[in-house]
Every structure is written in C-alpha cells, then in structure tokens.
Amino acid sequence: MPDGMQSKTSQVGTAMLEVRDLHGFYGESHVLHGVSLEVRQGEVVTLLGRNGAGKTSTMRAIMGIMAKRTGSIRFQGTELIGMAPHRIPRLGIGYVPEERGIFSSLSVDENLTLPPVIKDGGMTVEQIYELFPNLKGRGSTQGTRLSGGEQQMLAIARILRTGANLILLDEPTEGLAPVIIEQIGVAVRALKQRGFTIVLVEQNFRFAATIADRHYVMEEGHVVDMIPNDQLHANMDKLHTYLGV
C-alpha cells in the first residue's frame, strides 16, 4: 500500500448489500430470474459467468438503471427497489461501468473533482495519485489522450473522492495489457485494505482469484453457485464447465 494510505479496516463485517429474488426486465425481455446474493462489508466479491449471463444487468439493477425490477435490493438496510436512480449513488454506492464513463473532453483533474462528495471518508486527490501513479502529473491531460489503462484507472479514481464505500466495477481489466491488469489488481487490494467493499464483474477469473474473497457464478440470469476463493482450486473443473474455458 502506498505511503500515507492507512487502512480503515481489513476485517470483513456484516452484510452491506443483500439481493433477494431479484427479477429484472428490459422492456418485455426478462433477463434476471430470481438473483440472490450478499456482499459483506470489506469483501471483494466477483460475479463470474459467460457473456449474457446477467452480470452487468445485476449491477444495473442495483443502481436503478434497469427500469423494471422486482424482489429486494437492500444496501445497509435501505431498500433500493422503487428508489429514484439519482438517489442511489448518494447512499454511498459508486458504479464504474464497462464503458468507463469518464468525461473524455475534460482533463484528468476535472474528471476527479467533478463528481460531488456525498459523504465523509473519500480519498484526497493526493491519495488517488498514490494509488494510481500513472495518473500523477497528468492532471491537465484531456481524457481522450489517456491510454485505455489510464482511462480505466481514472474511471475508478473519480469514484473514490465521493465517499462511496461500495464500489461496483464492471469488467475493469477488459482489453488491457497484462502489466496494467496487474496494477489494477494492486489498486483493488489496496482499496480493500482501506475498508472499501467491492463487487467486480470479471471474465478473467485468474485475475479475480488474486483479489476476491468469494465468487458468485451466473448463468442465464440466475446465480447457480457460490465458491469461496480458498475453494477455487478444488472447484476448477466445475468452474471451467460454467465458464466454457
């Protein structure tokens, strides 16, 4: 962990996010079929599965981006089903979508300082640059001039100032070089040390295995298995079958 980044806590606590019997729809298309999972405070949890399994849809449902949802999504005891989408991030949930979502016409510094601080506990710009040294000294650089890996770092970094303590990361390593993937892994482990709770959609389960506590496996809009990370090796054959690798 970089100097000056002291850990809030490294202990896993009580359930922060509880999803129960979640059904989700895009128009008439029923894409989530009774998803149930929980994420405890301080955990890194991955959603694994093939393309189209419902991983991104689950994240979009949590954030209220999916218009029609039934079931229950509770964050720190507060029910999110029926809540206006603009209110959900203000509870302390940060979302980094697969398409990254940075403002490409703005500079690095502008991207970092634009999102509002919603609660105490966010990281300072200086701490963010310690976490992502690739961005240090690039404050005036326009987003479009960053590499794909640097854009991914910025997409994560801009959430960290806000005070959000649950971070949803959708495919953060997709299309990135191995050296950048390794840096993203170092950053995620450092965030966990600081007490952040992270839900990660990831196709690269070898990467996921280096950072996660538990893995939920999804197929066709269902959660079909949950594998603790320390049991991953013993379940490798089953996981290969699930993921088709």
Rounded Cα gap, residues 45 and 2, in angstroms: 23
Residue 222 CB neighbour total at 10 angstroms: 16
Q: What is the pTM of this model?
A: 0.91
- For the chain, state the CA radius of gyration: 17
Q: Which CATH superfamily is domain 15-243 in?
A: P-loop containing nucleotide triphosphate hydrolases (3.40.50.300)
With contact defined as beta carbons under 8 Å apart, do 102 and 158 qualify?
Answer: yes
Q: Is 24 or 103 the better-scoring residue by pLDDT? A: 24
Rounded Cα gap, residues 182 and 161, in angstroms: 23
> 142 - beta bridge partners?
107
Q: What is the model's pLDDT at position 12?
A: 61
With contact defined as beta carbons under 8 Å apart, do 143 and 107 qualify?
Answer: yes
130-174 pLDDT, tens digit each:
999 999 999 999 998 999 999 999 999 999 999 999 999 999 999
Rounded Cα gap, residues 134 and 157, in angstroms: 12
Q: What is the model's pLDDT at position 243?
A: 86
Range of lowest pLDDT (9-13, 127-131, 139-143, 240-244): 9-13
Calculate mean pLDDT across residues 37-54.
95
The model's confidence at residue 11, banded by pLDDT at 50, 70 and 90, is low
Q: Helix, strand, or coil here: 112?
A: helix
Rounded Cα gap, residues 122 and 83, in angstroms: 24
